[in-house]
Structure 1
Amino acid sequence: MTIEEVLLLLKATLPNALTPLQEIVLRSTWDGKTYTSIASEAHYGEERVRKVASHLWQLLGEVWKEPINKSNFRQTLERRGLNRAQQQLIREFNRTAIAISLEFPCGPVSLDSRFYIPRPPIEQLAYAEIAQPGSVICIKAPKKMGKSSLILRILAHAANLEYSTVSLDFQQADKAVFANIDKFLRWLCANITQKLGLQPKLNDYWNEEIGSKVSCSLYFQEYLLPSVKNPLVLVLNEVDWVFEYPEITDEFLSLLRFWYEQAKGVEIWQKLRLVLAYSTEIFVVLRLTLSPFHIGLPLKLPPFTKEQVQDLAQRHGLDWTNGSEVERLMAMVGGHPYLVRLALYSLMGKGGLQRDLEQLLQQAPTETGIYNEYLRQYVLALRKQPELEAAFAEVIFATSPVKLEPVVAYKLQSMGLVNLQGEYCTPTYELYRLYFRQLKARQDGNNSRMNQLEKENQQLRVLCSLDELTQLISRRNFHTHLQIEWQKAAGDCTPLSLILCDIDYFKIYNKNYGNTAGDDCLRQIANVIDNCVKRLLGYSSFSQASTVKSPVCTSDERTSVLVARYGGEEFAILAQTDAMTAISIAENIREQVKALEISCEYPGMGGLPANVLTVSLGVASIIPESETEPEILINAAEKALIQAKRKGRDRVVLK
């Protein structure tokens, strides 16, 4: 067992939830730490830690029916696996907890949420640092990587230590606040005063003659800090907003640095513990000796590991223990906390995907995917900075790492869009590469636009499998290709035709002759369809696993075509051709299937079109328009197929 499995089993077994201190004791003991070390790092008294631990060992002994103590805790449990009963207990616990607590990933993860994943040793380092006099913690990470969730826990830990806490978010400030340094510092002091429940006394300390920065420092030193009994943890979130005003940034950040240095010699300043959170690097001209980002404890939030994603999936009630689903999801979004959580939330039925990971991954880099709103924020941000937009376009279209100007590279890295390895950049996640390449292709509006989309279709195909029985393209992949062909035909003003082919009375055939015969029948008909397409259109269709290549209209104008298994006994043929050619293909398929002479005598059933297996086909053809959707073509082909069946089957109908 892992420590995570031990904790889950205890939560599922014990009548009362584990307390935060109990979890700390268990995790730290698992890592081999002493009670003295645990008490020091968690900032609890050693006697209390020992008392909590003693109670824990008693509980664990009752759960596992054998003596368990600090010295044998890990040795006893690590070598064991979860038995079936324990696995079922955890699954039931997860299902019950999820039914109650499943939450949309928006904003910080609440303190009581089961979906918060610790990232050791980040939390422990932060807790230890705020206990140090005059400390500064700098938390840097792109948006939605978990800064606010970590801050929430730092504040809760500070409250447990009976510290005073104030959290300010600069994005809540009116634009007028940033008019000048005087107005900004008065706003800062007024907000802290209000949150501490003190009477505002700014006018008693503000003096134009000595300046705003000195006035602000005096207000802290002589009023705010003496007014609180215990240390004050001051969180300044979204410091990035200040970076937009260089004339304020230089003054404000140098002031924070000054407060930090004052704590080394002035006792009252040791009560102030600063936590600064920001996403973007500061690119104003600021000397290192003035910046607070080169002091104290720097914390960079890493993405989730595979084990952490697997843990989070289990907390959502998904059985991803074999790891393949985790690998497929991380191949698209890496370990980005928000992107992973949104996927897991959607897979649990709240997003209409009902555990269909293949569909989620297929749609992920498109405008119909669950990440579209999130990705659109990046689109808007890049459009405001054409230099970054052009540089990022170079990265996503490159086949190898790209060397960019250092400042541009660092900005893209700070936004979370690229990984920086030395001087070279690559897209952070495959999601970004696929989405922005498709977006850029649409914006260009030229031939390369569709060629690139077709390449991206190849990437999507990796995430979804071919139909195992017929080795034709799956229905989901068919819809992806249809979108691409629809846009291409709309741009070229060329017809696009769809043939839907249904095996007549196949369910009765399957019932009478058995599944093995039914499977063989499906394979034979799939082969007939593929051969008809090859013969009539003059080259290999885009259907079999051995010929998976993006279909293109070459200089000799050969037709692009795709053959897919559309349903249980339905097949779809999509071709860049006119209605007459499509009807010819459909008639040929009907005749060749009949020529197979697959016997289908159904006792007691009259009115069959023949005593051999037949197919009905519906054909639809249209010249697409960019403002319409391809569902028009699908609906028309389905109506034609229904008419073919109503008219007696074994026929072709054009709609």
Structure 2
Amino acid sequence: MNHQEAKDLLLTLLPEEQLNLIKIEVFRLSWQGKGYNIIAEESGYDHDYVRKSGSSLWKALSDTLATNVTKRNFRPLLETRLTESSLQRPYALEYPGGALAFSSPFYLERSGEEARAYNEIKQPGSVLRIKGPRKMGKSSLMLRVLDQAESEDYQVVKIDLLQADRKILSDLDLLLQWLCLQMSTQLNIAPAMDDYWNPLMGSKLSCSNYLQQHILAQLDRPLVLVINELNLLFDHQEVSQDFLPLLRSWFEEAKHNVLMQKLRQVLVYSTEVYVQLDLNLSPFNVGLAIELQAFEDQQIAQLAKSYGFNWQADGMAANPVTYLRSTVAGHPYLTQLALYTLASSQGFMESPMNSLKDIIKTAAEPKGIYNEFLHQLLADLTANLTAVSGFRKLHGSKGDVLSSIESYQLERLGLATIVNGKTLACNQLAAKFLLKQL
């Protein structure tokens, strides 16, 4: 147990104003079984001052716990009490990975991003883009945007491309008919694709006419159209190069078409895979982009409290908050998974920092908690030669300068941050794993 861990533990029992440096050291070293003479010697304080501070501490703990606490009995007493407390969480742990429910205590509100997203879907003809590397919280934010849309009494259609067959994703005509059928079904409007589909007009115009004349014309309120996992189309270049400009055309059409102003698009996609489009045809440079960011220290500390850990965001190297942020770059999923694994441990945990280090130490191994995530990241990196080149330069010893596109690709993968025009490596754990594999 280090000084910070001793302080964190005491703060679960006593208010901070009752603690000072010497009381925390008395607690920490007494936990190790050391007497007041040794504590005075190691801490550099006068022996009488150490003893008086100890007496004051045991009295404060006695008052809080309503039982006699002494230097001799405090450790087994606290271990029992804190173990019982950890087993009496007011809510069950949730395994991280998917979208978090509205009531989940493990969801961290991104108040600024959420407010901007909620405001954007109120704008006629708008496009909201929720983007970021895998498992950054896009699905959780999407669910909250959908809930906000329903609270505004808007119509909602959610298209999840994970539900589309590969055959559909690889054929533009099938994809657009599938999209129209999904809209009709979810809005309880009788499908009528045969009335609008004309091979001479082409699939894109047929789909646009169906949307305007058969869907929007029948609605008396705005329609929020959510397309989730849009990145799945990036593997189908011919389809994506037609489908994505179609979405852009709907945005442009809304500038002068009253019917199309009822439409609000919410596009949700991962940024690991890159698709190249003419800037004038791409939907990825219009509307409002919400790019989900890594957790900062205060957010990690807040999340840790949900798991029962009283950690402070003080920037100290010995702090688990600082360790998590530096090791996994504050990645939301990786942070959640580490905290979940730590909180799932049975019994009292003397040193959360050491336990956390043990978890991270084996995280990349075949049975480690990050193994699957890291291998997916490896596949994404090696599929992008520009990113591989940039990654090697970033972690090389020659000081090679990365091109702007190399920096951009690494940022999209969550392997670098760009600060004041300078590309900086992040996510130590992922970088160490990838360097071994390349």
**Class of the TM-score when normalised by the shorter of the 2 chains:** 0.7 to 0.9
In structure 2, distance between residues paired with 1:235 and 1:120 = 21
In the TM superposition, residue 102 of structure 1 has moved relative to its aligned partner by 1.1
Which digits, 9 at most, give the CA deviation of each residue in 1:265-285, with x for residues without a partner?
Answer: 222111111011122277544
Instruction: Report the CA distance shift for 1:362/1:410 in structure 2 as closer, same or farther (over 3 A).
Output: same
- Aligned: 1:149 with 2:149: no
Q: Which residue, out of 182, 191, 209, partners 1:191?
A: 182
- Aligned: 1:325 with 2:320: yes
> Is the 8 Å Cα contact of residues 157 and 183 (structure 2) preserved in structure 1?
yes
Residue 274 of structure 1 aligns with an amino acid whose one-letter code is: Q
> Is the 8 Å Cα contact of residues 365 and 434 (structure 1) preserved in structure 2?
no
In structure 1, distance between residues paired with 2:204 and 2:145 = 28
In the alignment, what sits opposite 2:105? 114
In the alignment, what sits opposite 2:341? 346
Determine helix, strand or coil for the equivalent of 2:100. coil
In structure 1, distance between residues paired with 2:88 and 2:149 = 28
In the alignment, what sits opposite 1:215? 206
In the TM superposition, residue 144 of structure 1 has moved relative to its aligned partner by 0.6
Matches within 5 A, 1:148-547: 148-280=139-271, 283-321=274-312, 323=314, 324-349=319-344, 355=352, 356-385=355-384, 388-389=387-388, 391-396=390-395, 398-399=396-397, 402-421=400-419, 425-440=423-438
In structure 2, distance between residues paired with 1:107 and 1:340 = 14
In the alignment, what sits opposite 2:78? none
In structure 2, distance between residues paired with 1:222 and 1:231 = 14
Query: Alignment RMSD, CA only?
Result: 2.8
In structure 2, distance between residues paired with 1:180 and 1:320 = 52
Instruction: Name the TM-score, length of structure 2 as normaliser.
Output: 0.73
Residue 432 of structure 1 aligns with an amino acid whose one-letter code is: A
Instruction: Report the CA distance shift for 1:281/1:337 in structure 2 as closer, same or farther (over 3 A).
Output: closer
In structure 1, distance between residues paired with 2:265 and 2:190 = 22
> Is the 8 Å Cα contact of residues 313 and 344 (structure 1) preserved in structure 2?
yes
In structure 1, distance between residues paired with 2:171 and 2:348 = 50
In structure 2, distance between residues paired with 1:425 and 1:171 = 33
Determine helix, strand or coil for the equivalent of 1:403. coil
Which digits, 9 at most, give the CA deviation of each residue in 1:6-36, with x for residues without a partner?
Answer: xxxxxxxxxxxxxxxxxxxxxxxxxxxxxxx
Matches within 5 A, 1:121-140: 121-140=112-131
In the alignment, what sits opposite 1:608? none
Query: Which consecutive residues of structure 1, in runs of 5 or more, have no partner in the other structure?
Result: 1-83, 86-90, 441-655
In the TM superposition, residue 360 of structure 1 has moved relative to its aligned partner by 2.1
Instruction: Report the CA distance shift for 1:344/1:181 in structure 2 as closer, same or farther (over 3 A).
Output: same
Residue 321 of structure 2 aligns with an amino acid whose one-letter code is: V
In the TM superposition, residue 402 of structure 1 has moved relative to its aligned partner by 4.7
In structure 1, distance between residues paired with 2:277 and 2:435 = 36
Instruction: Report the CA distance shift for 1:167/1:96 in structure 2 as closer, same or farther (over 3 A).
Output: farther
Determine helix, strand or coil for the equivalent of 2:159. strand
Determine helix, strand or coil for the equivalent of 2:136. coil
In the TM superposition, residue 169 of structure 1 has moved relative to its aligned partner by 2.0
> Is the 8 Å Cα contact of residues 131 and 269 (structure 2) preserved in structure 1?
yes
Determine helix, strand or coil for the equivalent of 2:108. coil
Which has the higher Rg, Structure 1 or Structure 2? Answer: 1
Which digits, 9 at most, give the CA deviation of each residue in 1:228-273, with x for residues without a partner?
Answer: 3321111111111212222222222221122112222222111111
In structure 2, distance between residues paired with 1:400 and 1:228 = 61
Determine helix, strand or coil for the equivalent of 1:121. helix
Determine helix, strand or coil for the equivalent of 1:274. strand
In the TM superposition, residue 399 of structure 1 has moved relative to its aligned partner by 4.6
In the TM superposition, residue 148 of structure 1 has moved relative to its aligned partner by 0.6
In the alignment, what sits opposite 1:581? none
Greater length-normalized contact order (CA 8 Å, ≥ 6 residues apart): 2
Instruction: Report the CA distance shift for 1:408/1:176 in structure 2 as closer, same or farther (over 3 A).
Output: farther
In the TM superposition, residue 217 of structure 1 has moved relative to its aligned partner by 0.8
Residue 370 of structure 1 aligns with an amino acid whose one-letter code is: I
In the TM superposition, residue 112 of structure 1 has moved relative to its aligned partner by 1.0
In the TM superposition, residue 338 of structure 1 has moved relative to its aligned partner by 0.5
Residue 333 of structure 1 aligns with an amino acid whose one-letter code is: V
Residue 334 of structure 1 aligns with an amino acid whose one-letter code is: A
In the TM superposition, residue 438 of structure 1 has moved relative to its aligned partner by 3.6
In the alignment, what sits opposite 1:644? none
> Is the 8 Å Cα contact of residues 136 and 332 (structure 2) preserved in structure 1?
yes
Instruction: Report the CA distance shift for 1:188/1:400 in structure 2 as closer, same or farther (over 3 A).
Output: farther
